[in-house]
A and B are shown apart, each in its own frame.
Chain A
Amino acid sequence: MLFRSSTPAFDMNIEGFHTGQHLANARKQADMRGLDDVLVVDVDCHHYETDNFAEILEYIEDPSLKQVALNTYAYKGPSAVLYDQPGYQDLGGRVTRYLERKGEKIPEDGRPREVAQTLRWMDALSVDYACLFPTPMLFLGLHPQPEVEVNMARAYNRWITDNILPANKRLRSMLYLPFNDPDATYRMVQEYGKKDGVIGFMVVSTRYKPVYDNAYMKTYALLEEMGLPLSFHASYHWNDQLVSLTNRFITAHAVGFTFFNAVHCANWVVNGLPERFPKLKVIWIESGLAWIPWLMQRLDNDYRMRTSEAPALKRLPSEYMRDMYYTTQPMEMVNNHKALELTFEMINADTQLLYSSDYPHWDMDLPSTIWDLPFLSEQSKRNILGLNAKRIFGLDVSDRFPENHGRAASPLVDTWRQDVVPAE
């Protein structure tokens, strides 16, 4: 694979990419921290469903839409079927695995290649179980045709529950909900809620449907009854009217990935949905953590002046938010360490925070980002890395959960201080 640089003298050619080799330093980090002896559940990671797109399109149930999708895909690729957008996640080739992973050689063993490819990075990061999500489909919430989202969601969910989840017990998923169609959303939970490997359902946040709409109440009730978490996975769309004000991907990402989750979360709380569904577990994914204290403070301050506009609430908004769950990535590991520590305190991280890597995306976080936090006890680290997820998803981890605790050696890198610590 040729990566173009600023001048031909620095063009770079990479051959023979192997996920395990790319992540060799991650493997060493895990060894030196003894992470194989720690249960690690990655609540948000991805594959590229477009790697198997022709196969997935065959699962579309609507015959006319399927015919259009197959022919459109054949001449224009997956972007024309889904709802792609401008974006430079790979930083113009600087994050090399985006291009490299497509050509990675995986021995054929009858399973879709991403099963082996996913297990390669899981082993490198010392992840025991991973909740797998698609990638380009995360833009479907803004597709102008709701029936495309419904049909793609149904096709993908059938495909992943038929082919991927049964292939290895370490792979799980919260299935994509076609949220723009409330009835199809309800049917999805009914039909797929008890499938093997399904540990909950996921709504992509980037859409213009409000979570308080009465049309969704039967779905929330069903999820609560089944004991399945509902997650909101952040995304962005550069054509969204607000995000389109930004002219650099860094801004579109920093704002876009937090904005929709913040709006949905505020709606969820202010409309009293935690009072209506007190046992429904709600998870906010991939917005980082800094937005949570911001929203807690804004809502609490306003609520005490405008209590009449949120009459369903019996507690402060932040108290409801503290009962929700959040995934770690992309954790704001900046120079203000006090801010992160306070955030952990404000969200009851010990019981509410769930580790996520977001691998293979550019802003992925390794388990060491949690393990290296100096303000956490070892028990808190274990809770965040895996035990909280085990509890809220009801995971049976008996095949991998260890008894003994490893002894850590030199950690190679201190992700807290962001400094290298070479082996002695």
Chain B
Amino acid sequence: MPEIFVARSEDLPEGGRVFVTANGNQIGVVRAKGQLHAYLNICPHQGGPVCEGLMVHRVEEIIAEDKTYQGMRFSEDDLHIVCPWHGWEFNIETGRCAGDGQHGLKRFRTEERADGIYVVV
């Protein structure tokens, strides 16, 4: 499988992102939660540049034991990337759509070696 050089490791810190082009397709590579994630920069909804969007933790509701609503907070575990066109959110680790798991991003494998980061296309 062909590989494409993405960046040197130090040039892609936590929260950073780099874009590469393969076969006419743009791929976004991000480092989040200590891992590398590479996705096709096309949202399955209407084709927006999803990898350019805000990374933000999943919002969750706080429901008390007596079932009363107590507010909202950010999840400490689940990080999303949000398509900037319409707001579709995707789990950064799985690429699945947060609102409808039937849909998801196209994921690519990454390799991090001593000489840098590669995406396998």
Interface residues of A (CB under 8 A from B): 3, 5-7, 9-10, 12, 22, 24-26, 28-29, 91, 93-97, 335, 362-366, 368-369, 412-413, 415, 418-420, 422-424
B residues near A363, Cβ cutoff 8 Å: 86
Cβ–Cβ contact B42 & A96, under 8 A: no
Cβ–Cβ contact A335 & B105, under 8 A: no
Top 7 nearest A-B pairs (CB, nearest first) are: A413-B47, A6-B57, A423-B24, A6-B74, A10-B55, A94-B82, A96-B84
Distance of A422 Cα from B46 Cα, bound (Å): 13
The majority secondary structure among interface residues of chain B is loop
Distance of A366 Cα from B49 Cα, bound (Å): 14
Closest to A11 in B: B15
Cβ–Cβ contact A10 & B86, under 8 A: no
A-B contact pairs, 18 of them (CB 8 A): A5-B56, A6-B74, A9-B15, A10-B79, A12-B54, A24-B49, A91-B87, A94-B54, A94-B56, A96-B54, A96-B84, A362-B86, A369-B46, A412-B42, A413-B44, A422-B25, A423-B24, A423-B25
B29 within 8 A of A: no
Partner of A362, one of B23, B49, B57, B87: B87
Most buried by B among A365, A369, A420: A420
B40 vs chain A, min Cβ distance (A): 6
Cβ–Cβ contact A5 & B54, under 8 A: yes
Closest to A92 in B: B56
Distance of A283 Cα from B33 Cα, bound (Å): 49
B103 within 8 A of A: yes
Cβ–Cβ contact B103 & A418, under 8 A: yes
With A6-B56, A369-B46 known as contacts, the answer to whether A95 contacts B103 (CB < 8 A) is no
Question: Chain B 24-43 against A: per-residue CB contact (8 Å), 1 yes, 0 no?
Answer: 11000000100000001111
B32 vs chain A, min Cβ distance (A): 8
Closest to B49 in A: A25
Distance of A3 Cα from B52 Cα, bound (Å): 12
A residues near B85, Cβ cutoff 8 Å: 95, 364
Cβ–Cβ contact A94 & B87, under 8 A: yes
A381 vs chain B, min Cβ distance (A): 16
A residues near B54, Cβ cutoff 8 Å: 3, 5, 10, 12, 93-94, 96
Partner of B56, one of A10, A28, A97, A423: A10
B14 within 8 A of A: yes
Cβ–Cβ contact B55 & A12, under 8 A: yes
Cβ–Cβ contact A29 & B84, under 8 A: no
A residues near B43, Cβ cutoff 8 Å: 413, 420
Partner of B45, one of A5, A28, A418: A418
B27 vs chain A, min Cβ distance (A): 10
Cβ–Cβ contact B40 & A420, under 8 A: yes
B106 within 8 A of A: yes
With A3-B54, A366-B46, A419-B44 known as contacts, the answer to whether A95 contacts B14 (CB < 8 A) is no
Partner of B106, one of A24, A97, A369, A420: A420
A residues near B79, Cβ cutoff 8 Å: 10
Cβ–Cβ contact A368 & B55, under 8 A: no
B65 within 8 A of A: no
Cβ–Cβ contact B46 & A415, under 8 A: yes
Distance of A413 Cα from B86 Cα, bound (Å): 15
Distance of A326 Cα from B53 Cα, bound (Å): 32
Cβ–Cβ contact A420 & B42, under 8 A: yes
Cβ–Cβ contact A368 & B87, under 8 A: no
Closest to B14 in A: A9
B residues near A412, Cβ cutoff 8 Å: 42, 47
Distance of A368 Cα from B46 Cα, bound (Å): 8
B100 within 8 A of A: yes
B residues near A97, Cβ cutoff 8 Å: 84
Closest to A363 in B: B86
B62 vs chain A, min Cβ distance (A): 15
B102 within 8 A of A: yes
Cβ–Cβ contact A25 & B44, under 8 A: no
Cβ–Cβ contact B47 & A364, under 8 A: no
Distance of A305 Cα from B47 Cα, bound (Å): 48
With A6-B56, A413-B42 known as contacts, the answer to whether A420 contacts B84 (CB < 8 A) is no
Closest to A95 in B: B87
B residues near A365, Cβ cutoff 8 Å: 46
A245 vs chain B, min Cβ distance (A): 15
